[in-house]
Structure 1
Amino acid sequence: TPTPTPTPNPVTLLFVGDLMFDRNIRIAAQKSGNDFIFAPIATILKNQQLVVANLEGPITNFPSKSVGSAIGSPANYIFTFDPSLAETLKQHQISLVDLGNNHILNFGQAGLDQTLEFLKTAQVQYFGQIGPTQDFKSLPLAQIIELNQQKIAFISYNQFSTGQPETVIETEISTLKLQADWVIVLAHWDREYEPVALPATVKLAHRFIDAGADLVIGSHPHVIQNHEIYQGREIYYSLGNFVFDQYFEPAVKKGMMVSVKLYPQPKILDTTPMLIQLQTNGQTSLEK
């Protein structure tokens, strides 16, 4: 009789929200070290096979424009993160980042090029949708990662990348479906500070699932948004902030991490949300 194939262990992934390492976070990290920012949740991060984050800006050696700028001034929203961050991400198992957001080009193509170099050196993989001029050889729209004999495809949708319709993503989802066991969409979308996703966003999430996505995880609104199960598949419309210096209302000081377990036979995707809090000293901790 043939030996039964042993069922591999489930893959354990952790999805986190917007990671912003400039302004007051940069100041805190310069004072106390990069690890200080992640210290309260470091054990959780390091125990994952893979942590996936939205990197809300470029990693460059350009000087910060946002440090010391007036709140609400244009410079306050121009982000760049210190090159040392790339290695810190890797050390905390954040070895895949989505660059498809409205800040990744804050320092233009030069900033993006530096980001890819710093991430590559630290062995942090990346993907992202940034617009019609995108060179997919240097910045792919999707990444397929194999863990425990399961192939997981991660694809970026960025509402703020002009000129590329949603159909690009739907087509790509269908293609990835043939190459991977799982397809997970990371979407940067919707409206800031809105606790409930807009009808247009909901429609889009449903389209992604209809195209074959197994899970949709959103970011950008800076607050946690609603969760939905559609056709048996889960949608987290927004995980809110992960590392950010926003403290002006309770909703922005809270974020969500989503732990995902992927079982191969039978195919089961199991999610567990965990709430986090942003501390005014720059740290991210579990919600008390």
Structure 2
Amino acid sequence: MAQDTTRLSLLFLGDIMQHDSQLQSAYEANTGRYNYEPCFRYAKKYFMDADLTIGNLELTLGGKPYKGYPEFSAPDALAVELKNAGVDVLVTANNHSLDRRRKGLERTIRVLDSLQIMHTGTFRDTVERMNDYPLMISRNGISLALLNYTYGTNGIPVTKPNVVNLIDTVIIRKDLARAGELKPDLVIVFLHWGNEYQSQPSKQQKHLAEFCFRYGANLVIGAHPHVLQHMELRNDKQLVAFSLGNFISGQRDRFRDGAAMVKIELNKVYYSDTTAGTYINSAGYVLHWVYRTPASRRNFYVLPVPDFENDTTGFIYDEPSKQAFKTFITDARALLQARSNKIHEISMPAADTVLRYRIRWTIPALEKDLTAGLEPADFYFGIEVTTDAAGNQQMTAGSFRKKRDAETYLERIRKRFPDAQLQELVNRKF
């Protein structure tokens, strides 16, 4: 990897839902607990392969009684498993944000905060929104601004002082201007929009996507229709995915039982120490289907197509499910291959083991200048600073996929900090 280029991979998920059938499946009577590990078992490696995995949490973590449609409240165990599987960010503005009213909105925020899952779209009050919006994320020396809005909340009014971001072009334009002032490398708008169960985006979706691009958005990601809609890579700065479909749900009808994860590879190219540009290097999608086993205890699994289309183990063992899986693949390819220009289907399974490398070193408490001896290029990969109990500064930099690149960076850092070490992360991100 050239020293003047840093890279970041993003993976976007569609609607993460929780119907009654999923609740019943996850419940373990012998322990009285809910177990969602099977749901994400086969998708986990795709989450881990991406530097950032971002999904739409279309439910509340509102506490008991747990319930599916029409007013969702899922066990905290669902969020715990999303975290364990490698989901980094969740957007929370959707038509189910207020299913448990104020208590549900605020409890959802508390649970996500306790799990250290980044989130945006709903807020306890206007002060929280003012301080935390847009959500700013920095990874691998690349900064992102994430915005999130919904068309509505199923007619349930927002209880003051809570805030749910609603689609309002006046507000969105102001928020995009605010995002621009923060000078991120890329601006993402995640929208809950469109018409349910329609495989083509509406005129309103198209107009709103154009509006977002006009005022500074780079990526526009859509949710809510619960079926796939096409994607467009406009240029190396702009991409729209109108609807990713149901990432996981209890819906079993044709077109609703599968979806796509879209993976975007970003390059940040440094032309000088003060000038850089960030571009979409590539974009692709991974089709996946939700399998509900026909056994007495119906388990739910998200099955990535690259891993299971040619499976010979008989994992999908009943004939109706085999046919439904094939139908989903045929339908999805017919839609996306016809309309999703420059965005390819990813057919290669993700690796079971993902390695990353980081560089760590310590600056003693008495040393005030944390940047002494570092060159401008040393900051290209991002440097995080934490303080230990003794007041020493623990410095961590980079997230390299190739050990050789990490070792090259390590040599530079050791010229100033001889104690710098290479840290290997196995199926971990940060």
TM-score (norm 2): 0.60
**Shift in Å at residue 187 of structure 1?**
0.5
Q: Does structure 2 retain, via aligned residues, the 8 Å contact 1:216–1:234?
A: yes
Separation in 2 of the partners of 1:79 and 1:191? 20
Q: Give the structure 2 partner of residue 135 of structure 1.
A: 126
Identity of aligned residues (%): 25
**Shift in Å at residue 106 of structure 1?**
0.1
What are the Cα deviations for residues 200-219 of structure 1, in whole angstroms up to 9, with x where unaligned? 11011000000011111100
- The question of 1:56 aligning with 2:47 is answered no
Q: Does structure 2 retain, via aligned residues, the 8 Å contact 1:9–1:263?
A: yes
Amino acid at match of 1:186: F
Assess, with a 3 A threshold, how the Cα gap between structure 1 residues 56 and 164 changes in structure 2: closer, same or farther: closer
TM-score (norm 1): 0.88
Separation in 1 of the partners of 2:122 and 2:108? 15
| Equivalent position to 2:138, from 137, 146, 149 | 146
Assess, with a 3 A threshold, how the Cα gap between structure 1 residues 59 and 101 changes in structure 2: closer, same or farther: same
Alignment of 1:1-288 (within 5 A): 6-31=3-28, 33-66=35-68, 76-128=69-121, 135=126, 137=128, 140-160=132-152, 165-179=168-182, 180-230=184-234, 233-249=238-254, 251-265=255-269, 266-269=277-280, 270-280=282-292, 281-287=299-305, 288=309
Separation in 2 of the partners of 1:129 and 1:156? 9
Separation in 2 of the partners of 1:141 and 1:79? 25
User: Is 232-241 or 94-103 further displaced after alignment?
Assistant: 232-241
Q: Does structure 2 retain, via aligned residues, the 8 Å contact 1:156–1:187?
A: yes
Separation in 1 of the partners of 2:200 and 2:19? 28
Q: Considering Cα pairs closer than 8 Å and 6+ residues apart, tell me whether 1 or 2 has the greater RCO.
A: 1
Q: Does structure 2 retain, via aligned residues, the 8 Å contact 1:144–1:152?
A: yes
**Shift in Å at residue 154 of structure 1?**
0.8
**Shift in Å at residue 277 of structure 1?**
0.5
Which structure is larger by alpha-carbon Rg, 1 or 2?
2
Amino acid at match of 2:204: A
Separation in 2 of the partners of 1:164 and 1:33? 35
Q: Does structure 1 retain, via aligned residues, the 8 Å contact 2:105–2:122?
A: no
Separation in 2 of the partners of 1:174 and 1:279? 43
**Shift in Å at residue 237 of structure 1?**
0.3
Assess, with a 3 A threshold, how the Cα gap between structure 1 residues 29 and 153 changes in structure 2: closer, same or farther: same
What are the Cα deviations for residues 33-67 of structure 1, in whole angstroms up to 9, with x where unaligned? 2111101211111222211000001113221233x
Moved over 2 A (4+): 5-9, 133-136, 138-142, 161-164, 228-232
Task: Please provide the CA RMSD for this pair.
Answer: 2.1
Amino acid at match of 1:202: K
What are the Cα deviations for residues 158-196 of structure 1, in whole angstroms up to 9, with x where unaligned? 111687622211221122123211001100000000000
What is the total number of aligned residue pairs between the two structures?
A: 272
Q: Give the structure 1 partner of residue 313 of structure 2.
A: none
User: Is 100-109 or 15-24 further displaced after alignment?
Assistant: 15-24
**Shift in Å at residue 225 of structure 1?**
0.6
Amino acid at match of 1:286: P
**Shift in Å at residue 119 of structure 1?**
0.6
Separation in 2 of the partners of 1:13 and 1:57? 23
**Shift in Å at residue 224 of structure 1?**
0.5
Separation in 2 of the partners of 1:247 and 1:141? 36
Separation in 2 of the partners of 1:160 and 1:94? 25
Amino acid at match of 1:217: I
Secondary structure at the counterpart of residue 42 of structure 2: helix
What are the Cα deviations for residues 256-275 of structure 1, in whole angstroms up to 9, with x where unaligned? 10111111115221321111
Amino acid at match of 2:223: S
Q: Does structure 2 retain, via aligned residues, the 8 Å contact 1:8–1:148?
A: no
Amino acid at match of 1:243: I
Assess, with a 3 A threshold, how the Cα gap between structure 1 residues 230 and 167 changes in structure 2: closer, same or farther: farther
Amino acid at match of 2:152: F
Q: Give the structure 2 partner of residue 73 of structure 1.
A: none
Q: Does structure 1 retain, via aligned residues, the 8 Å contact 2:90–2:119?
A: yes
